[in-house]
Amino acid sequence: MEWEVITKARRGDEAVPNLESYDKARAEFSWEAARAALDGLPGGGLNIAYEAVDRHVAKGRGDKLALRWLSKTGERRDFTYANLAAESSRFAEVLRRLDVGQGHRVFSLMGRLPELYIAALGTLKNGSVFAPLFSAFGPDPVRQRMELGDATTLVTTPSLYRKKVKPWRHELPDLRNVLLVGDEPPVEDTIDLATAMAECDGSMPCAAMEPDEMALLHFTSGTTGKPKGAIHVHEAVVAHHATGRFALDLHPEDVFWCTADPGWVTGTSYGIVSPLTNGVTMIVDEAEFDAERWYAILRDEKVTVWYTAPTAIRMLMKVGPELPQQYDLSRLRFMASVGEPLNPEAVVWSQEAFGRPFHDNWWQTETGGIMIANYAAEPVKPGSMGRPLPGIEAAIVTHDDGGAPEVVDAPMTPGELALRPGWPSMFRGYLHNEARYRKSFAGGWYLTGDLAMRDADGYFWFVGRADDVIKSAGHLIGPFEVESALLEHPAVAEAGVIGVPDEMMGEAVKAFVALKPGYEADEKLRKELLGHARKRLGAAVAPRAIDFRDVLPRTRSGKIMRRLLKARELGLPEGDTSTLESGA
């Protein structure tokens, strides 16, 4: 099926897009100018937390609502920029009194609680390094990452501490401080955060850092193997700020909702830093996905910009396009998606359900910020990731192992997606893994490990992860294309596609499918799906076999773990499953 390009008309009451013309914005952009849009500390130096909160207070915008927190139980807590500035200073002082110094790693292990945001900003203010973890990680994944990250301090809740940290706590002698959030009786060997904060007055100044000093430590999702610890520095804030303006079209008047878990890079770059540096009001919802709750939040909080992920969008699609029509979502101006390929079906569906498309964008833990995107004022090609941001040079390259990459100019020819290093949020290393870091660069390019194509208009199209691509009878098949075709069938809620060894073809395409409610996983449907895929894709690319599953294995950031589907199919060891969502 050919998908129609979505061109957009602006409603009269909408903000003028930050990027009105792609070509013009690219021609005019420079990172120097983007740097100048931020302030730096009054006495010199740079700090992400200063740009996120203190700067607004210094400019007289302290009373503006910065963060509205919605609890699972319907409670609401509001924080102005001045509140966040003061609370984060208190947290920084708590760290200083505990002798947690610059460069020391402070981990968080908790859900979306206000203290998480205060801890993140306060850690940065103290010049320490913030390293967030998924609260749903089991004890082993938590320990592995804290060990690799040389944790000195952990902020968590009493119950998470008891379940996931206490059993091994004393085997990590460097872990000196455990700060607990929540009003429970004192727990041995820990510090009650509220009590410690009450002793501080909020006047501690922000640490003046060098632009290239370490600020954030983010672990990759572990989709393709053992998670890597990506190092980010304070000047990343320049990219967080600029990419939020261009790719998410953030304006100070916006109410912005990023649904990402704080344990994942999106939860920091676009769940904390970018919205705050752009001076918006951000919504934080403590609860997990629930279609009705989500639509009610969009309506009641008058959300204008919404950033979510394909998994969530597919869950909304499963519920149907009628539900959102029962809510007044007229304030919603811009919707974006990241984390996994966004199937064209989902873009077209959102156009029907919301009257506007989801804007796919692409980036990685390593890039620290959005690199390729569809923009508010530019046409959207469903199924495409969009075009590189101003200041970002991207190309499709081919390279033999060890050889210098060659740029592929021919349109729609698959190769590895490569980026020219030099933007501020580029990672500066994998912690304790210099060799793996060096392997990511060749001939002046950063190699992303993803395969993609570029069309004649400069739009990029995701093909698959290099590790997931299937070689069948001389064809190179990207799982994304096959999964998207299956998703067009009304019965299919989710699909994961792998290659399995085949004597004749080298590899044969095999699909795993989860069905929407009300469909029977029987032989008749299997045949129908095989036929549908063959009609859509041709016999060479269509799956030879389809298995039904209740759920597909996913990472905690919502990515289908194809390597696990494959290992299970072939009876091979499962490898690192520390990020696997439970029950999958």
Q: To the nearest whole angstrom, how small is the minimum distance from the Cβ of residue 454 to Mg ion?
A: 20
Q: Of Mg ion, ligand ATP, none, which one sits near residue 360, judging by CB under 5 to 8 A according to partner kind?
A: ligand ATP
Query: In the complex with ligand ATP, which residue's Cβ is closer, 274 or 364?
Result: 364
Residue 222 engages ligand ATP in binding (rule: CB under 6 A) = yes
How far apart are the C-alpha atoms of 100 and 196, rounded to whole Å? 14
CA distances from 262 to 107, 109, 300, 366, 558 (A): 12, 9, 23, 16, 13
Site string for ligand ATP, 223-262 (x = CB under 6 A): xxx-xx----------------------------------
Query: In the complex with Mg ion, which residue's Cβ is closer, 220 or 266?
Result: 220
How far apart are the C-alpha atoms of 281 and 66, rounded to whole Å? 5
Q: To the nearest whole angstrom, how small is the minimum distance from the Cβ of residue 220 to Mg ion?
A: 5
The residues, ordered by sequence, that sit 6+ positions from 534 with a Cβ below 8 Å of its Cβ are 542
Q: To the nearest whole angstrom, how small is the minimum distance from the Cβ of residue 269 to Mg ion?
A: 15
Query: In the complex with ligand ATP, which residue's Cβ is closer, 361 or 472?
Result: 361
Q: To the nearest whole angstrom, how small is the minimum distance from the Cβ of residue 244 to ligand ATP?
A: 16
User: Which residue from 559, 565, 578, 580 is in contact with ligand ATP, where contact means CB under 6 A?
Assistant: 559
Overall residue count recorded for the chain in this entry? 584
The residues, ordered by sequence, that sit 6+ positions from 223 with a Cβ below 8 Å of its Cβ are 465, 555, 559, 561, 563, 579
Partnered with residue 80 across adjacent β-strands are: 65
Query: In the complex with ligand ATP, which residue's Cβ is closer, 207 or 247?
Result: 247
Query: In the complex with ligand ATP, which residue's Cβ is closer, 463 or 515?
Result: 463
| The pairing of beta strand 151-156 with beta strand 105-109 | parallel
What residues numbered 408-437 form the site for ligand ATP, per CB under 6 A? none
Query: In the complex with ligand ATP, which residue's Cβ is closer, 126 or 266?
Result: 266
CB 47 within 8 A of CB 206: yes
Helix, strand, coil percentages in the chain from 3-state DSSP, rounded to 5: 30, 25, 45
- Which residue type does 469 have? V
SS3 state of residue 549: coil
Size of the site for ligand ATP (CB under 6 A): 25
User: Which residue from 462, 497, 499, 546 is in contact with ligand ATP, where contact means CB under 6 A?
Assistant: 462
Site string for Mg ion, 220-259 (x = CB under 5 A): x---------------------------------------
Sign of CA dihedral 199, 202, 205, 206: positive
The residues, ordered by sequence, that sit 6+ positions from 59 with a Cβ below 8 Å of its Cβ are none
How far apart are the C-alpha atoms of 449 and 455, rounded to whole Å? 19
Residue 465 engages ligand ATP in binding (rule: CB under 6 A) = yes
Question: Radius of gyration of the chain from Cα atoms?
Answer: 23
Site string for ligand ATP, 313-352 (x = CB under 6 A): -------------------------xxxxx----------
Site string for Mg ion, 253-292 (x = CB under 5 A): ----------------------------------------
Left, alpha or beta for 302 (phi > 0: left; psi -120 to 50: alpha)?
Answer: left
Residue 221 engages ligand ATP in binding (rule: CB under 6 A) = yes
Q: Of Mg ion, ligand ATP, none, which one sits near residue 339, judging by CB under 5 to 8 A according to partner kind?
A: ligand ATP
Q: To the nearest whole angstrom, how small is the minimum distance from the Cβ of residue 371 to ligand ATP?
A: 9
Query: In the complex with ligand ATP, which residue's Cβ is closer, 119 or 338?
Result: 338
Q: Give the E-state strand segments of 253-393 in sequence order.
A: 255-258, 281-285, 305-308, 334-337, 358-362, 372-373, 387-388
Q: Give the E-state strand segments of 516-575 in sequence order.
A: 545-548
Candidate ranges 177-185, 220-228, 239-247, 523-531; the one touching ligand ATP (CB under 6 A): 220-228
Residue 365 engages ligand ATP in binding (rule: CB under 6 A) = yes
Could you give the angle at the alpha carbon of 31 between the alpha carbons of 446 and 423, nearest 5°? 20
Q: Of ligand ATP, Mg ion, none, which one sits near residue 532, judging by CB under 5 to 8 A according to partner kind?
A: none
- Which residue type does 110 have? M
Residues in contact with Mg ion by CB under 5 A are 220
Residues in contact with ligand ATP by CB under 6 A are 220-225, 227-228, 338-342, 360-362, 364-365, 385, 448, 450, 462, 465, 557, 559
